[in-house]
């Protein structure tokens, strides 16, 4: 039997994305967002939703650019911290002893120590409610060479991304390989 | 060292979401989408992106409603099949021997056998490129009672959702608990 839980933001899994921006003074800032997802294949785009109150919101509005860095499991503490503190109050990267690298193609920094980074230019801004959705065109993806598989693509088991459970507020890692997409369904 | 991979839709993890709709004749249809994510906390909203060519696209435009059902690992074959076949050509739920249940609050069906279902009414339609993003307000979440934890919320380890790796096209399960959000970061 199914139980009705009401109107809640429940989805499993959600990614743990660290949004990188520059502020007015040109200082790099990062914040962790769980409300993100790919939203178009061509042009390749990612959507990330932020509250107006965040420091990152103003930075994106001003610079029209952001990055998404994906922390590996090794950086779970730093990623969690990036979601709790504000760049208005402290230099989060310095405190976490992590390094900002300026994007090649956009006016935004990514986190050097994290295995994957997306450079995005702002395409659309959609006011929804408490959150504003920023749709960014992915101009380039950068991955640690050690995280690539034999096909030259990132291997999720080497990236070891973190997933977030909304409401329950827990982080989990990636589990076992279940099968190949566009393949296992042929048996139905 | 990081290697540049070009403009690609890479994000880890992405959820495996099954979108439920009714067509003009009132027949239930389901399709699997990987481009989805929560996009607002208040009102609670989810964004799912679909190509215009899909049968589901027309159904949502007409009915202004959809559901998101999350398959557990047990239904990986059915979920993969739902992403390969079209409701224009076949009755996917019948072939997969799964059951459509009419939503309580919206004009869309969800999949009875899947552990979690979100009932959504269409709020916004955003044309991006190849994909159109549908933003739906989550009016209710329904979860199998056996998947709830002691706090009354779904437990990701009981839901056992599937995650999809874009480009590499692999499915993985949920791994081990890494820590509590808004907590482990205090150590930084």
pLDDT (tens, 9 = 90+) of chain B, 188 residues, equals: 899 999 999 999 999 999 999 999 999 999 999 999 999 999 999 999 999 999 999 999 999 999 999 999 999 999 999 999 999 999 999 999 999 999 999 999 999 999 999 999 999 999 999 999 999 999 999 999 999 999 999 999 999 999 999 999 999 999 999 999 999 999 99
Helices (H), chain B: 55-63, 76-82, 92-95, 156-159
Query: Which residues on B lie below 8 Å from A77 (Cβ)?
Result: 179, 184-185, 187-188
| Beta-bridge partners for B127 | B132
A145, pLDDT greater than 90: yes
Establish if A54 touches chain B: CB-CB under 8 angstroms: no
pTM metric for this prediction? 0.97
The interface predicted TM-score (ipTM) is 0.97
CA distances from A21 to A18, A38, B26 (A): 10, 19, 47
As a whole number of angstroms, the distance between CA A130 and CA B17 comes to 24
Buried b (16+ CB within 10 A) or exposed e, A158-188: ebbbbbbbbebebbbbbbeebbebeebbeeb
As a whole number of angstroms, the distance between CA A110 and CA A103 comes to 7
Give pLDDT, residue B1. 86
Residues 144-173 of A with CB under 8 A from B: 144-145, 148-149, 151-157, 159, 161-173
Query: Which residues on B lie below 8 Å from A96 (Cβ)?
Result: 188
Residue of B nearest to A103 (CA): B4
User: Which one, of A186, A153, A156, A187, lies nearest residue A174 by Cα?
Assistant: A156
Task: Say which of B10, B153, B174 has its CB closest to residue A175.
Answer: B174
B156 in Cβ contact with A172 (< 8 Å)? yes
Average pLDDT over residues A170-187: 97
Give pLDDT, residue B154. 97
Q: Is B48 exposed, middle or buried (0-12, 13-18, 19+ CB in 10 A)?
A: buried
Residue of B nearest to A79 (CA): B185
**Average pLDDT of chain A to the nearest whole number:** 97
As a whole number of angstroms, the distance between CA B92 and CA B69 comes to 15
Average pLDDT over residues A166-176: 97
As a whole number of angstroms, the distance between CA A2 and CA B117 comes to 9
Buried b (16+ CB within 10 A) or exposed e, B158-167: ebbbbbbbbe
Residue of B nearest to A170 (CA): B180
Q: With bands split at pLDDT 50, 70 and 90, how would you rate the model's confidence at A1? A: confident
Interface with A, mutate which of B10, B20, B75 (most A CBs under 10 A) = B10
Interchain proximity A13–B174, CB inside 8 Å: yes
Buried b (16+ CB within 10 A) or exposed e, A131-153: bbbbbbbbbbbbbbeebbeeeeb
As a whole number of angstroms, the distance between CA B134 and CA B33 comes to 12
As a whole number of angstroms, the distance between CA B117 and CA A10 comes to 9
Establish if A47 touches chain B: CB-CB under 8 angstroms: yes
Query: Which residues on A lie below 8 Å from B66 (Cβ)?
Result: none
User: Chain A closest CA to B170's CA: distance in Å?
Assistant: 5
Task: Say which of B13, B80, B185 has its CB closest to residue A80.
Answer: B185
Interface with B, mutate which of A115, A139, A140, A141 (most B CBs under 10 A) = A141
Neighbours of B125 (CB within 10 A): 13
């Amino acid at each position: 039997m199914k139980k009705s839980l009401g109107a809640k933001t429940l989805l499993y899994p959600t990614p743990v994305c660290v949004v990188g921006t520059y502020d007015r003074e040109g200082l790099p800032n990062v914040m962790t967002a769980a409300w993100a997802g790919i939203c178009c294949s061509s042009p390749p785009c990612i959507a990330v939703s932020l509250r107006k109150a965040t420091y990152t919101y103003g930075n994106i509005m001003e610079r029209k650019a952001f990055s998404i860095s994906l922390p590996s499991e090794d950086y779970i503490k730093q990623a969690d911290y990036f979601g709790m503190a504000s760049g208005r109050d402290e230099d989060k990267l310095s405190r976490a002893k992590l390094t900002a690298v300026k994007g090649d193609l956009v006016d935004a920094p990514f986190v050097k120590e994290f295995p994957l980074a997306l450079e995005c230019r702002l395409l659309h801004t959609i006011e929804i409610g408490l959150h504003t959705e920023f749709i960014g065109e992915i101009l380039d993806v950068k991955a640690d060479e050690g995280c690539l598989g034999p096909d030259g693509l990132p291997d999720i088991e080497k990236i070891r991304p973190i997933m977030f459970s909304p409401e329950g507020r827990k982080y989990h890692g990636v589990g076992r390989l279940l099968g190949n997409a566009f393949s296992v369904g042929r048996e139905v």
